[in-house]
Amino acid sequence: MRAAFTILLSICLLSLSAQPLYFPPLDGTGWETTSLEEVGWCVEKVDSLLQFLEEKHTKAFIILKGGRIAVEQYFGAYSQDSLWYWASAGKSLMGAIIGLAQEDGYLDIEEPTSNYLGEGWTACPPEKEALIRIRHQISMSTGLDDSLEPPGSPENCFEPDCFQYLADAGTRWAYHNSPYRIVQDVMEAATGQDKNLYTRLRLGNRIGMKGFWFDYIYYSKARDMARFGLFILGRGNWNGDAILSDSIYFNAMTNSSQDMNPSYGYLWWLNGRPAYMLPGLQFAFPGSLIPEAPADLIAALGKNDQKIYVVPSEGLVVVRQGESAGGVSPAYSSFDNQLWLRIMGLGCTTSSREADVRLPGLEISPNPAANILEIKASAPIIEARLYSHGGQLMRRFPAGGSQLGAPVEGLAPGLYLLQVLTEQGVVLEKVVVGGVGRG
C-alpha cells in the first residue's frame, strides 16, 4: 500500500513540476494573483495563519503559487515599499552570485582562496591555508576556528589573526560568518566589480530585483525576496532567460555540499535529509530540518527569522520579513516548523494534520502520562513525533506495527503535540506530560 502511494505521489509531483511558471514583469507594473479558491485553501485558515504571523512580529509575508501571488500581507506601518534586511538569508543570494561569477569565467570554486586574496590572508600555516578553497567557504567547511571573538564586531573581522587553523579544510562543518563574508571580497577581486554592480547587472535587472548590499548585508523589499525565490524555483531561469545556466553548479548548490551536515548546500539550507547540524553546535540531529515542511524544500534563513522557502514539488515560494518570532537565532529556529505546520494545513478539504481529526481506531493513553504514552491504531504505525507546544521537535518514535510505546520520562511537565503517522494518514493530538497515571 505504501509503495503504491509513493508511486502515485511521485507521478503527481512530476505533473506539478511540469506546469509552466508565471513570471511577473521586470518593471514592477503588476504581479498576477491567484485566488485561495484556485489553490484550494480556506479563507478562515489563511486568516488564522496571518493572525499567527502578526503575533510573531512579522512585517511582511508572501506566498507564491506557481509564481502568482496567493497570499500577501503587510503588518503595522510596514508596506509593500518598505525595505528590510535579509541577514543570513543573503548568504543564499551570494551562493547564486558565486555560481554566476564562475559561469562567467571569473573564478573557479575549486581554486584556493589565496589565489584571489593573496597568500597570508589567514594565520594558518601556509600548507593549511592552501587547502582552503572557495568551495569550502560556501559550504561552511573551511576548518577555521569559529570560536574566536575578536574585539569589536567579530562578524566583520578579516584580519589574518581572525582566521586561525582548527582542522583541515573539508573535514569540519561550522556555521562561520567571517569566512563567508570574505567570500564576497573574493567575488569582487575575481570580477573586478563592486558586488552591488555585479549583482544588479548580472541578476537583479534580469529578474526585476532592486535590493542592495550594505556592509555585507543585503536589503530589499519583500517582493524582491519573492523574485529571487522564484528565480531559484525556476532553477536559474526567468521567463525563458537562462541566467544561471550552469546546471552542475545549481544542483551542487541545492544538494548536500559535504558529509558532516547533509542539510547544507552552497549557502542554502536543505530539508528532507537524514540529519542536520545547527549554528554553534558540533553534533548532528537525526531527521529532517523542518519535519512539517515538504522534503524537497530548500531555504534561505536569516537572523530574526528572515526567510525565503522554495518548494519545487508544490510550486511554492514563501517569504517572511520581520523581527524575531521568539528567541534570537542566526538561521533555523522553531518558528520554521510552526509556520510550515500551518501552511501545510491550509487546504479546505478535511486535513489529516488538523488536531480535531482522528484516525479510525486510534487510541492514545494515558493522557496525562508520566512515563509512557501507549499508541494504538487500526493501521500500521510508521512513526510518532512529539513536539513542544511551541513547535519544537522533542522526540521521534519509529514503529513497525499497530501499537507503539512512546517514552516521555525526563520531559518537562506540560502540554505537547503528538503527531502519529500511519498508512491511513497523519494526525496531531494534544497530550499532557507529567500527569498522574499508569503511564
The number of C-alpha atoms within 13 Å of 25 and in the hemisphere containing its C-beta is: 6
Note the pLDDT of residue 434: 81
Note the pLDDT of residue 155: 57
Distances (CA, A) of 3 to 285, 360, 423: 27, 21, 11
E strands, 66-211, are 68-74, 84-85
For the 363-433 domain, the top CATH level (class) is mainly beta
Note the pLDDT of residue 272: 94
- Measured CA to CA, the distance from residue 107 to residue 174 in angstroms comes to 24
Note the pLDDT of residue 391: 63
Distances (CA, A) of 422 to 7, 359, 380, 384: 17, 9, 6, 9
Note the pLDDT of residue 389: 62
Note the pLDDT of residue 238: 98
The domain ranges of the chain are 2-90+192-343, 107-191, 363-433
The set of residues, in sequence order, having a beta carbon less than 8 Å from that of 121 and lying 6+ positions away, is 113, 114, 129, 160, 163, 182
Note the pLDDT of residue 152: 41
CATH number for region 2-90+192-343? 3.40.710.10
Architecture of domain 107-191: Up-down Bundle (1.20)
**Closest CA relative to residue 344, chosen from 406, 271, 408:** 271
> Would you give per-residue pLDDT tens digits along the chain (439 residues)?
434 333 344 434 444 444 689 999 999 889 999 999 999 999 999 999 999 999 999 999 999 999 999 999 999 999 999 999 999 999 999 999 999 999 999 999 999 999 999 999 999 999 999 999 999 999 999 999 998 754 444 456 788 998 999 999 999 999 999 999 999 999 999 999 999 999 999 999 999 999 999 999 999 999 999 999 999 999 999 999 999 999 999 999 999 999 999 999 999 999 999 999 988 888 888 889 999 999 999 999 999 999 999 999 999 999 999 999 986 678 888 889 899 999 999 998 644 444 333 444 678 888 888 889 998 887 788 888 888 765 678 888 887 788 889 999 889 888 887 888 776 666 667 788 885 433 3
User: Do 386 and 416 form a contact (C-beta atoms < 8 A)?
Assistant: yes
Note the pLDDT of residue 227: 98
**Closest CA relative to residue 281, chosen from 293, 263, 297:** 263
